Structure 1
């Protein structure tokens, strides 16, 4: 006999309180499975070290001429690596959501007087905490390697805002992918394209250097305006098109967030009621 379903609280104060409870649960999971967090944060650091020390001298010379080098290439790729950090942590969110959906914990939550959506918003809030820690670590490594920026406080605030919007968009996307996955293994593989997209954009080489077909894709995919916006704000790229890039980047983030929130709610209602 299935457990009785207690009416779910839906008022905003209850949602905030329940989200805070789910956030604490998520943070405890992060502490318990610290190796996963370390792996997700280590991945962009490995890419940063690999590209700077293996390809940096050659790529830097190609970017800035004979006077360029590893420092020039480090400045060029740091925004892309920050984006990859957000994407990498988002992979862990998909795994966490899929774990909840496959291990029966959601069925237990259905018997409690909690805001139904707090299960998802708790994962999103936890992802923000994990992403902030990951970005701090990766940026610290970049600074140790020699990354420098002349950006002022307002520009850095813009960088933080852009990364927050990106985190919101990618987290809700991976929440939806985790809900759509039939298993934890599927959830761990489906979002992998998020880590690959920076390589098919302006993340590691200028899009002007790509063949025509690939260049078209690189110019119009969502990550390119985000990376170019971060570069413009940090003062390590061409700032002439910063306004256009920022508008496109914010637009992409808003559209992805809105679509994935609706998708996630529909998937969650259908799966938790079955």
Structure 2
């Protein structure tokens, strides 16, 4: 019970931060280690969180469009992966459907908030600051509270059935889940690349592929090399921008000087 409550608090905290303070928090790369820490297996939390992050790397919430609840996917994927003892396979396999189902709860909460907004509008029209503040703080704490209760209930009632279900699966199905757990991160990476693809980054894509496939460089080495190249281009662009701005200033000074000389010549001619 205590573990379910702690995981529920993590869910509520991340949802609360995501609602208006820190939008970078609802990412599996952060949530996984937190869940793993409270469940007593930080290593698995980091591994499962990183795997789920790769799946949802190209998924972002834009406005009111929520393709998948990444927070719920990360929390439940990591929790079930650790509590059932199945690790990354179960975590990644459950994260996708859980993320899609959790969107339904988000839509229900937003529907309730429509009534809260209507109540706030009436409070403003009646110049009732007390009622407005009451509705505002209700919405602020109601949102994470819903996810806290949902998380505790799901973990209390769902771990046993999920563990039994996963243990009774045929070996062929388990192998399929293992393959899917390896393919989904590649799919997430593909979605991310498709959203930012440009012909200018094509050479770097193939350079990274060659470094990994033929030269055997690990992910950390490629990441450090890529970061160094990115910093080089940032500094180069900054230098070019600075030189361009200085050139514009020089042209403005020259233009102003020429205009002043022309005015002096016109005055001399007219006089």
TM bucket normalised to smaller: under 0.3
TM-score between both structures, scaled by the size of structure 2:
0.27
Higher helix share: 2
So what's the TM-score if we normalise by structure 1?
0.26
Greater CA radius of gyration, 1 or 2?
2
